[in-house]
């Protein structure tokens, strides 16, 4: 307990220091570096206005990923730059230097194969994954290593550059096959090499159609001269070109080289899809899937910047999407509405609220509410107005803080840096291309989470095997709990239910923590376990075979103590411990708790990850709702003379706190609010 109090005191002292530094931030563009308690850089970001962007981390509500980042921050530094482009370059360099754990890291930026024409007296072709400043010519990247090798193999047959790494003392078989000029034996003029390199460059830059026509002409000439063997060789080369280069899916008339990007996000993961178009034809695609912690579009642009920082083969155009795709967005909203509707009949102990507002819808400035049938039309309108005002206020706050990404300015900075045209198409065929990239990203990310789940028998078997691993005869029903708060504010908890390894969404429950103040995770766990299983006993609800808590020995002990010593229930309790990167790392069971060895690539471990991710998502969603509501209501409720009725009236009339703040005293008169109270309202909001 002492160590827990020391941690809280340390966080409070760090926040005092951070607030002092926030007051000194300049209204300039630059990069900021977030540090943890050891002084290690854990996140690097860029901003057009440092003061607004850095402040946004310590104000307002955030999603689960950003909350993890903010919880680890103990200090920050910043570097002022002269422009947004300089900030983009500096961010890329700082990420590569410090490898912060919360940044998107392009770990495979040097694993793409390239075809290289070496810069030697007697050049040769090779496939390489290393980019050197050796004045060689690089072509690619080729996401498919097999395609790179096949292309080189074709070029080796077509163009007689040397094949040997070390120059031999006499001619080899390649010379006799007509695939080498034999510089080991004969002197080769530089002009011959220049012509060959020009032809290869032309081929690899997308000019294979012209080369194919030339081969066609030579084949016909050889056939007319009765050189049938030579004609057959040329015919085979044409067939190989067709097989290698003509597997096209989309064609654009202008025949430009383009890289088309799209990305999707879900459950704290991002997938970036790149479509490679050469000479107007799509020849390949590549997908990268990784966790992210910041704002989606900013982290996406960070990926793109790192990708091109060491890419010597630039296209003529880069096409970026307007915004990310959120996987299964509609289904998530519908499921959440069903969850709340199912809870409408619960008493206050488990009913968090009868109004539903999706986080993603709130970001767009729209609110939806699910009301009980007893509400009058007037009450429904007032509630909708209040929720809409909350959504607008959150959107206004994000815009003022600079938290929302600006795709246009990011594209302009990237274009200025790379010297390549960067577009964000909004209509026509180019828009269809970015949409296609987005769709592919969505499918790839969706596959990540659904590939194993599609086999129901395997999922059920995983639950059974998990039960055996922890000593249970059967494991059908699992109930998992997670707590959520930021430095003790708006503490909430959530419970999810898995039956036979599959989520039972209708049985999910949300809790507002009542008796615990501050960030007391053990106390919160005791309260929620007590409330849940008192109700289970009282109403004769199904008992779980296993209870899963988010944490280790302390959380397990707290839950077990309430179950056994207060309620007389003997239900197995296990804990899921996370690693330094906040990923599921270990299962602990018993009191005192002991670790259970599970292979990280096993179905049982994957099931635990799903359970922990799902309950965390559910808790974070509820916490964001409560935190957002408390932010907007506290600003008005703290003003003397403003009660619940007047607050709803103000929000319904003006639409958001920002618009109330911008109003004049005269604007309040039509609401029956006098000049004195109107002035108090304006003064209070402007001070905040």
Query: What pLDDT, in 10s, does the model give residues 526-543?
Result: 999 999 999 999 999 999
483 & 602 share domain = yes
217 & 313 share domain = no
501 & 587 share domain = yes
500 & 586 share domain = yes
Which residue would you say has higher pLDDT here, 274 or 114? 274
Instruction: Tell whether 672 is covered by a domain.
Output: yes
Report yes or no: 513 and 493 within 8 Å, Cβ to Cβ.
yes
Quick one: DSSP state of residue 192? Answer: H
Instruction: Tell whether 457 is covered by a domain.
Output: no
Residue 426 pLDDT: 86
291 & 432 share domain = yes
CATH label of the domain that carries residue 2:
3.40.1440.10
Residue 110 pLDDT: 45
Confidence of residue 351 (pLDDT cuts 50, 70, 90): very low
Instruction: Tell whether 59 is covered by a domain.
Output: yes
CATH label of the domain that carries residue 300:
3.30.420.10
Tens of pLDDT, residues 142-184: 656 666 777 787 788 778 888 888 887 778 888 877 778 888 8
Task: Please determine, for residue 368, whether its predicted confidence score (pLDDT) is greater than 50.
Answer: no
Cα(25)–Cα(55) distance, rounded to whole angstroms?
9
Confidence of residue 232 (pLDDT cuts 50, 70, 90): confident
Quick one: DSSP state of residue 251? Answer: B
CA proximity to 469, closest of 611, 587, 610: 587
Residue 177 pLDDT: 78
Tens of pLDDT, residues 590-619: 777 788 887 766 778 888 888 888 888 888
Q: Which residues neighbour 85 within 8 Å (Cβ) at sequence distance 6 or greater?
A: 413, 416, 417
Which residue would you say has higher pLDDT here, 292 or 357? 292
Instruction: Tell whether 76 is covered by a domain.
Output: yes
Task: State which of 188, 212, 246 marks the end of a domain.
Answer: 246
Task: Please determine, for residue 359, whether its predicted confidence score (pLDDT) is greater than 60.
Answer: no
Task: Please determine, for residue 522, whether its predicted confidence score (pLDDT) is greater than 80.
Answer: yes
Confidence of residue 687 (pLDDT cuts 50, 70, 90): low
CATH label of the domain that carries residue 609:
3.30.420.340
265 & 199 share domain = no
673 & 618 share domain = no
Task: Please determine, for residue 385, whether its predicted confidence score (pLDDT) is greater than 50.
Answer: no
493 & 432 share domain = no
CA proximity to 237, closest of 267, 203, 205, 206: 203
Task: Please determine, for residue 398, whether its predicted confidence score (pLDDT) is greater than 50.
Answer: no
Cα(362)–Cα(357) distance, rounded to whole angstroms?
7
Tens of pLDDT, residues 244-301: 554 444 455 566 788 999 999 887 788 899 888 876 766 677 888 887 877 888 889 8
Task: Please determine, for residue 649, whether its predicted confidence score (pLDDT) is greater than 70.
Answer: yes
* 212-247 core/surface letters (b: 16 or more CB in 10 A; e: else): beebeebbeebeeeeeeebbebbbebbebbeeebee
Q: Half-sphere exposure (CA, 13 Å, Cβ side) for 480?
A: 28
* Mean pLDDT for the chain overall: 75
Q: Which residues pair with 478 in a beta bridge?
A: 498, 546
614 & 486 share domain = yes
- Laid out side by side, the sheet with 41-47 consists of 41-47, 30-35, 75-80
Task: State which of 98, 128, 163 marks the end of a domain.
Answer: 98
Cα(402)–Cα(425) distance, rounded to whole angstroms?
23
Tens of pLDDT, residues 306-337: 888 867 678 889 999 987 665 544 344 334 33
Structural domain total, the chain: 5
513 & 573 share domain = yes
Instruction: Tell whether 180 is covered by a domain.
Output: yes
CA dihedral 74, 79, 80, 85 (to 10 degrees): -110
Instruction: Tell whether 330 is covered by a domain.
Output: no
Cα(391)–Cα(657) distance, rounded to whole angstroms?
10
Confidence of residue 302 (pLDDT cuts 50, 70, 90): confident
Determine how many CB atoms are found less than 10 A away from the CB of residue 197. 16
* Strand-strand pairing, 509-512 and 502-503: unpaired
Task: State which of 217, 246, 275 marks the end of a domain.
Answer: 246
92 & 172 share domain = no
Q: Which residues neighbour 101 within 8 Å (Cβ) at sequence distance 6 or greater?
A: 42, 580, 581
Query: What are φ and ψ of residue 582, in 5° steps?
Result: 65, 35
Instruction: Tell whether 630 is covered by a domain.
Output: no
Confidence of residue 33 (pLDDT cuts 50, 70, 90): very high
39 & 168 share domain = no
Residue 665: give the domain boundaries: 639-685
Instruction: Tell whether 289 is covered by a domain.
Output: yes
């Amino acid at each position: 307990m002492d160590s827990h109090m020391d941690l809280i005191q340390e966080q409070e002292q760090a926040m005092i220091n951070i607030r002092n530094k926030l007051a000194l931030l300049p209204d300039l563009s630059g990069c900021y570096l977030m540090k943890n308690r050891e002084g290690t850089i854990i996140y690097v970001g860029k901003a057009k206005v440092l003061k607004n962007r850095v402040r946004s981390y310590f104000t307002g509500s955030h999603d689960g990923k950003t909350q993890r980042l903010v919880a680890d921050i103990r200090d920050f530094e910043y570097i002022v730059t002269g422009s947004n482009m300089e900030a983009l370059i500096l961010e890329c360099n700082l990420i590569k230097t410090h490898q912060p754990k919360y940044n998107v890291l392009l770990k495979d930026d040097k694993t793409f194969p390239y075809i290289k024409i070496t810069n030697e007296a007697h050049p040769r072709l090779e496939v390489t994954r290393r980019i050197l400043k050796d004045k060689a010519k690089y072509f690619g990247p080729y996401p498919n290593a097999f395609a790179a090798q096949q292309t080189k193999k074709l070029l080796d047959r077509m163009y007689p550059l040397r094949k040997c790494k070390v120059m031999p003392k006499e001619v080899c078989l390649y010379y006799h096959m007509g695939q080498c000029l034999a510089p080991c034996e004969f002197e080769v003029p530089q002009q011959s090499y220049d012509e060959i390199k020009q032809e290869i460059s032309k081929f690899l830059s997308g000019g294979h159609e012209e080369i194919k026509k030339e081969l066609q002409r030579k084949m016909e000439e050889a056939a007319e001269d009765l050189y049938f063997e030579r004609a057959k060789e040329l015919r085979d080369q044409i067939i190989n070109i067709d097989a290698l280069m003509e597997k096209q899916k989309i064609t654009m008339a202008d025949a430009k080289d383009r890289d088309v990007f799209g990305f999707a996000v879900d459950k704290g993961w991002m997938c970036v899809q790149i479509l490679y178009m050469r000479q107007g034809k799509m020849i390949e695609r590549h997908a990268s899937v990784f966790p992210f912690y910041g704002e989606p579009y900013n982290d996406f642009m960070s990926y793109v910047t790192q990708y091109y920082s060491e890419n010597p083969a630039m296209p003529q155009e880069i096409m970026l999407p307007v915004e990310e795709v959120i996987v299964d967005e509609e289904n998530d909203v519908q499921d959440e509405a069903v969850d709340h509707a199912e809870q409408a009949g619960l008493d206050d102990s488990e009913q968090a609220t009868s109004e539903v507002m999706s986080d993603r819808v709130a970001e767009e400035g729209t609110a939806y509410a699910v009301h009980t049938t007893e509400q009058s039309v007037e009450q429904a309108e007032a509630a909708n107005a209040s929720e809409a005002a909350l959504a607008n206020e959150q959107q206004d706050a994000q815009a003022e803080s600079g938290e929302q990404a600006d795709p246009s300015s990011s594209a302009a900075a990237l274009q200025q840096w790379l010297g390549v045209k960067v577009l964000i198409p909004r209509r026509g065929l180019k828009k269809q291309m970015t949409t296609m990239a987005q769709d592919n990203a969505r499918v790839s990310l969706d596959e990540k989470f659904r590939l194993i789940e599609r086999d129901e028998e395997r999922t059920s078997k995983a639950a059974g095997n998990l039960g055996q691993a922890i000593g249970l005869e059967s494991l059908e029903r699992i109930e998992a709990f997670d707590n959520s708060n930021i430095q003790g504010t708006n503490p909430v908890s959530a419970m999810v239910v898995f039956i036979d390894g599959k989520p039972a969404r209708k049985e999910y429950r949300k809790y507002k923590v009542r008796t615990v103040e501050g960030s007391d995770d053990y106390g919160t766990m005791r309260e929620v376990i007590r409330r849940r299983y008192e109700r289970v006993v009282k109403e004769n609800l199904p008992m779980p075979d296993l209870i899963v808590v988010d944490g280790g020995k302390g959380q397990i002990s707290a839950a077990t103590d309430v179950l056994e010593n207060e309620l007389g229930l003997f239900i197995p309790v296990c804990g899921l411990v996370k690693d330094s990167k906040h990923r599921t790392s270990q299962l602990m069971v018993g009191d005192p708790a002991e670790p259970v060895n599970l292979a990280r690539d096993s179905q049982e471990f994957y099931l635990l990850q799903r359970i922990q991710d799902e309950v965390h998502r559910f808790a974070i969603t509820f916490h964001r709702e409560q935190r957002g509501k408390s932010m907007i209501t506290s600003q008005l409720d703290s003003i003397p003379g403003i009660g619940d009725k007047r607050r709803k009236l103000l929000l319904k009339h003006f639409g958001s706190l920002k618009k109330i703040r911008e109003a004049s005293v005269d604007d309040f008169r039509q609401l029956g609010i006098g000049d004195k109270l109107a002035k108090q309202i304006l003064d209070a909001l402007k001070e905040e």
